[in-house]
Amino acid sequence: MKKPAIVASAALLMFTAALNAQTDTKQPVANAATEKLAVADKYNNLSTDTYKLQPMPEALATEKIFPVIGKYQLTNKAGTASSVTVSLDRENKGLIWVEGLPQGKIKATLRKSPATYKIPAQKIGEEKDAKDVAEGVLIYDKDANILNVCIGCTYKSEDPANVFMTTEPVVTEVEKTEKKTTKSAKRATAKVTKVKPVLYSGNKIIETTAAVNAQ
């Protein structure tokens, strides 16, 4: 009688062990599947505030690309004030027009972005007696909000702003004498004229729109 009881007990122990083994092996599989699902679905489970879509950046306005354009209140060393407007040329964005200075409406060409310009020597007007304007430099400092203009300064590409510290006169050739054919004639020379630099400086006028309070 004891032998059947012993066999039954052994069978029960083996069944219990097999059941426990199956339970132990299934549990990690369930956990692995859960982790895999969590990884695959992580973008749906994360906070929408963290991964919300950002607004599209605004298009660059013309004033941002060419910060020199605008209105200014400039003064020279004598303290004479001039209301100056700087505008872009309609056909050439690298060219600006400066209006309001005593010299008249002058043009300047962009040499270094964002706002370093060379004022080429030019005539103001198309008349025979049109006024001559010497070479110059125009630089707008957008950080300091200051426009500096020098008419009668040589533009130096390596350091254009240096002319506002050490202004050297521009030597402009006016005309050449005709060569003489006789031996006693003096060697032909070129007549030159020195242009005294004229400097202007002033702040840009920032136009603001008054905010309207909502009722």
> Of 78, 118, 70, whose CA–CA distance to 102 is shortest?
78
Q: What pLDDT was estimated at residue 62?
A: 86
pLDDT reading at 197 higher than 60? yes
b/e map of 86-109 (b: 16 or more CB within 10 Å)? bebeeeeeeebebebbebeebbbe
As a whole number, mean pLDDT of residues 167-189 equals 56
| CA atoms of 122 and 101, how far apart (whole Å) | 15
- pLDDT-based confidence at residue 3 (cuts at 50, 70, 90): low
The rounded distance, in Å, linking the Cα atoms of 101 and 118 is 16
pLDDT digits (tens, 9 = 90+) for 70-119: 999 999 989 999 999 999 999 999 999 999 999 999 999 999 999 999 99
Helix, coil or strand: residue 121: coil
Does residue 68 or residue 125 have the better pLDDT?
A: 68
69: exposed, middle or buried (Cβ count in 10 Å: 0-12, 13-18, 19+): middle
Percentage, residues of the chain above pLDDT 90: 46
pLDDT mean over 29-58: 61
The three-state secondary structure class of 55 is coil
**What is the predicted pLDDT for the residue at 50?**
64
Select, from the ranges 3-7, 31-35, 40-44, 63-67, the one with the highest average predicted confidence (pLDDT): 63-67
**What is the three-class DSSP state of 88?**
strand
User: Does 67 score more than 90 pLDDT?
Assistant: yes
